[in-house]
Structure 1
Amino acid sequence: MSQDGRRAVSVIGFIGSVFSPWYRWSGRRDPENHVCLNVVTYGPGGKFCMTDRGRNALRQSAHSFTVGPSSMHWTGTQLDIHVDEVAAPPQIGRLRGRITLRPCALSGVELPLTPDGAHVWRPFAPVSRIEVDLGPGGQWQGHGYFDANFGTRALEADFDYWTWGRFPTPDGALCLYDATRRDGSTLAQAVQFDRTGAAEPAPLLPKARLRRSLWAVRRETRADAGHRPKQSLAMLDAPFYTRAAVTTRIDGHESLGVHEALDLRRFRSPLLMPMLAMRVPRRARWTHRD
């Protein structure tokens, strides 16, 4: 997110593209045949890019992940992202450029999201700096975040609903994870990270409601008692998912961070898949030329 809170970017690399209708229609038997680099810019002229590609588009090593013409490379001290993607309607066009994420430190935290460890959250660098150069009007600097999620089952098989948030604090960043599993059990976790990468459980602040999204997805986060968080920048709105910049208050300090809410009950509906296919094209035959 930019320092002034007016622009933001998200980049997600998928092997087994979780939200791809093509992967779901395939039976999810071959994750390496459904890969993508999902790049979304927020703010003036924001673009959404999420092309589902086949196995010939994938190249990976211990430090690099390449999907089609785009790639991510870990140098040992920073994550270099090269973007060359085509945006979906309504902002049709190419999105090209570079993004550099520099962690203040790396964290060793790993949090199972289910008791059997079928889903795991790995926050590599919750406190980072980011530099973005994605062409005219897309050049800015700000604070960033770097994590990963791993799973051996579909999200909708184990969860009904979850929310996640990452909010800067005076000493680092607070990450919030709340989820309702399909068996009725819940996850409620708050982790405070400092600038050295050290982490410790944080007290769970009271839940606080946000206004529903444009698609009426229920939203909630955590905040000081009596405080009402507010959306500061709309990012991504889908029938089952919403991402936004949210201003909240944590231990007396105002914080502008990123919040997500995911309704897996809606995502389980097969009626959503044709809608998603309009935003997530499939290029199964793309291959590297060298």
Structure 2
Amino acid sequence: MPDGGPDFDAAVPPRGYRWWYVDALSDDGQFGLTVIAFIGSVFSPYYAWSGWADPYAHCAVNVALYGPRGGRWAMTERGGGSLRRSRNALIIGPSSLEWRNGELVVRINEVAAPIPRRIRGEFVITPHAVNREEFSLEAHDRHVWRPIAPMARASVRFDTPDIRWRGNAYFDTNAGDGPLQEAFSSWTWSRAALSDGAAVYYDVERRREPPLSLALRFDDAGAVKMLETPPVAPMAMTKWRLARRTRAENGAATVLRSFEDTPFYSRSLISSRFEGESVEWVHESLSLDRFANPIVRLMLPFRMPRRG
């Protein structure tokens, strides 16, 4: 797109996927959120059981809110009749993402699971700068990742639950032409807001190719610089005994807070040093070997209901 926007009407091939990911942390460190909008929901048991036939029949908006009094989590899968999109707007059921004048406006109207509680509100992501460069996670661009706004600000206003805050944010997109577990066995990813930019680490264990490690630094103008990959920093396992590791200049990192802890995926807030600066990172670990386990897939509908 001319303004570097997210291009919500990009084609998604059979067996493929595309998602748009946002996370944000409040300035006081008390609150956080993550929203992921999926076409071809890669973690959907329904999409897997269909043989990965039609990505448009498996769409979802995953929303997670974190706060000092607990959080709320929702991911209702919907069929193709609930999907509407254009270059600047993506609507899945009652929730939407809109790229408007260089900002991302997200409106959420979902019901949490397994305990049904409403999640209703909106937030605006204002990028400091927009990155236009894509990174291939596998040869021939079969799986690609684009950090659209590594540095951004979030203005959050939810009515249910009643929360208001501002903080730093991040926005990216991933796309591929086949199921994740066919290409990758696992990955770890982390992003941090710096005093003068942003940093991202991405480590991917690939099935068809050698491992991939990316260490990127973005300046205030959005320009990206490839860095030498620092040493691996192991961290404490999750309650589900999922391994967590990252990269850190002295090979040491600490888990400050666990946001999500599932059999195959974790999201955490971690601390390490980057170019001499003490930095807090949003971090995720993903085991696609665990996700492919039939027992794990049978557990998912309790948290991920499907409508239509």
Q: TM-score range by the shorter chain?
A: over 0.9
Structure 1 counterpart of 2:279, from 255, 263, 266: 255
| 1:6–1:233 contact (8 Å) kept in structure 2 | no
When the two structures are superposed, what TM-score results if normalisation uses the length of structure 1? 0.94
Structure 2 counterpart of 1:176, from 201, 212, 216: 201
Structure 1 counterpart of 2:63, from 39, 44, 48: 39
Secondary structure in 1 matching 2:140: coil
Q: Does 1:210 align with 2:235?
A: yes
Q: Does 1:231 align with 2:268?
A: no
| 1:175–1:191 contact (8 Å) kept in structure 2 | yes
Q: Does 1:23 align with 2:51?
A: no
Secondary structure in 2 matching 1:216: coil
State the match for 1:287 in structure 2.
none
Structure 1 counterpart of 2:75, from 50, 53, 78: 50
Question: Aligned-pair distance for 1:28?
Answer: 1.1
One-letter identity of the residue aligned with 1:67: I
State the match for 2:130 in structure 1.
106
* Bigger mean CA offset, 39-48 vs 158-167: 39-48
State the match for 1:89 in structure 2.
114
- Structure 1: 5+ residue stretches without partners: 285-290
Secondary structure in 2 matching 1:24: helix
Map 1:125-144; keep pairs closer than 5 Å: 125-135=149-159, 136-144=161-169
One-letter identity of the residue aligned with 2:92: V
| 2:65–2:73 contact (8 Å) kept in structure 1 | yes
| 1:85–1:96 contact (8 Å) kept in structure 2 | yes
| 1:37–1:67 contact (8 Å) kept in structure 2 | yes
Question: Aligned-pair distance for 1:195?
Answer: 1.5
| 1:58–1:68 contact (8 Å) kept in structure 2 | yes
Secondary structure in 2 matching 1:275: helix
Question: Aligned-pair distance for 1:184?
Answer: 5.7
| 1:102–1:129 contact (8 Å) kept in structure 2 | yes
Map 1:49-68; keep pairs closer than 5 Å: 49-68=74-93
Secondary structure in 1 matching 2:138: coil
One-letter identity of the residue aligned with 1:62: R
Question: Aligned-pair distance for 1:53?
Answer: 0.2
Identity %: 41
Map 1:242-281; keep pairs closer than 5 Å: 242-281=266-305
Question: Aligned-pair distance for 1:77?
Answer: 1.6
After superposition, give the CA deviation of every residue in 1:220-270 in whole Å (9 maximum; x if it has no partner): 1011215x3112221111100100111111111111120000011111111
Structure 2 counterpart of 1:197, from 196, 205, 222: 222
Question: Aligned-pair distance for 1:116?
Answer: 2.2
Secondary structure in 2 matching 1:134: strand
After superposition, give the CA deviation of every residue in 1:158-212 in whole Å (9 maximum; x if it has no partner): 1111100001222211110001111361001111011211111022111101101
Distance 2:117 2:264 in 1: 25
After superposition, give the CA deviation of every residue in 1:101-124 in whole Å (9 maximum; x if it has no partner): 000010012100001211000110
Distance 1:78 1:150 in 2: 21
